[in-house]
Structure 1
């Protein structure tokens, strides 16, 4: 089933926000306590680059944000789910990490709540491939570039058009497909390249995750110095 592109992108995003809020409420800590493989990689990349402050977009209940905090970074974890962030704060308190981590409820369709050139690194695991239009994704990456310092690093992951769920379920146009209640914007390689214009693109690494498995790219790019 396919809907007309652009019918109600704001309505879809708002519905997804409510869906994630309900999901975190029903399944606390749904992704477990261990950090994702991309977060482990990003922590090494950030450390090698001398980063100190890390902004995570779409932190959820915080397994990756907590990993960055344990590695000694000052972390700002954002998500549009207050429930997920409340779980993150509780876990950070239990683990004695509150001095290394702050949270902020934020919808990435809005400007980032940070001044220009204020962070060293940004991490986003499957955030850019949520129910965002191509225009909204471009605007978000422009915001990321604004808040990164010169030579700052962005590591993000996205599901791509080689994924088994691409073209399955309900189509919303703009390469967005909804399956099992979750809407995903599947990235073509051309979109990755377009988002890297004006950056230094250092890696587009393919990997699999989960039982399907999900097909993803891990992208690393740096702002000019």
Structure 2
């Protein structure tokens, strides 16, 4: 089945409407993956973080409050505005900037611009494998040697895998949201050019969602 390009492209508008209608839909507390990433980044002596898919800013604010310089990207302008409001309210606007960006396009950063990259469930959004491979190469480009990338994705043991409307590959739509479910082989494929440091399985939410937390390192040159 070919990828359903109109449905994938319509996700931006869906997220815009959702974020505009549901302030704080993910809550204000930092996620467990953000806490784990902050610990890994701190132990590695990293300071600058590119966050992909910042949503409404709960993890963005946490990372900035933890002392990191954070640049968050989200492709919904409503999300970017929410991140900026949250940064001001938390008093971390000096260390947290946000901008709108579609990760299907090259990342708006110079080579080696960041020590670390963090993405909670961005990689399992409405992106094809081809787009994910391109994004993985872009993250590798903007990381400094020795930098870390920590990302999470819903995996094929998730209760929603195979349910809803099939949108091509391992993409399924439920309640308006398209999710790309990962198996271990896809994680390893996206790790090309990195050192794959770990793949941890965990659960989140009431369903519960089943996810991988993946830790990659840009090789030292």
The TM-score normalised by the length of structure 1 is 0.96
- Within a 5 Å distance, the mapping from 1:1-225 to structure 2 comes to 4-6=1-3, 8-9=4-5, 11-225=6-220
Could you say what secondary structure the match of 2:71 adopts?
strand
CA–CA distance in 1 between the matches of 2:16 and 2:8?
A: 12
Gaps of 5+ in 2: none
CA–CA distance in 2 between the matches of 1:126 and 1:91?
A: 20
- Cα deviation for residue 13 of structure 1 reads 2.7
Gaps of 5+ in 1: none
What does the per-residue CA deviation read over 1:169-222, in whole Å, with 9 as the maximum and x for residues that have no partner? 000111000011100000111110111122111110000011111110000010
Could you say what secondary structure the match of 1:218 adopts?
strand
> RMSD of the alignment, in Å?
0.8
CA–CA distance in 2 between the matches of 1:124 and 1:88?
A: 15
- Cα deviation for residue 57 of structure 1 reads 0.1
CA–CA distance in 2 between the matches of 1:65 and 1:94?
A: 13
How many residue pairs get aligned? The number is: 220
CA–CA distance in 2 between the matches of 1:14 and 1:191?
A: 22
Could you say what secondary structure the match of 2:10 adopts?
helix
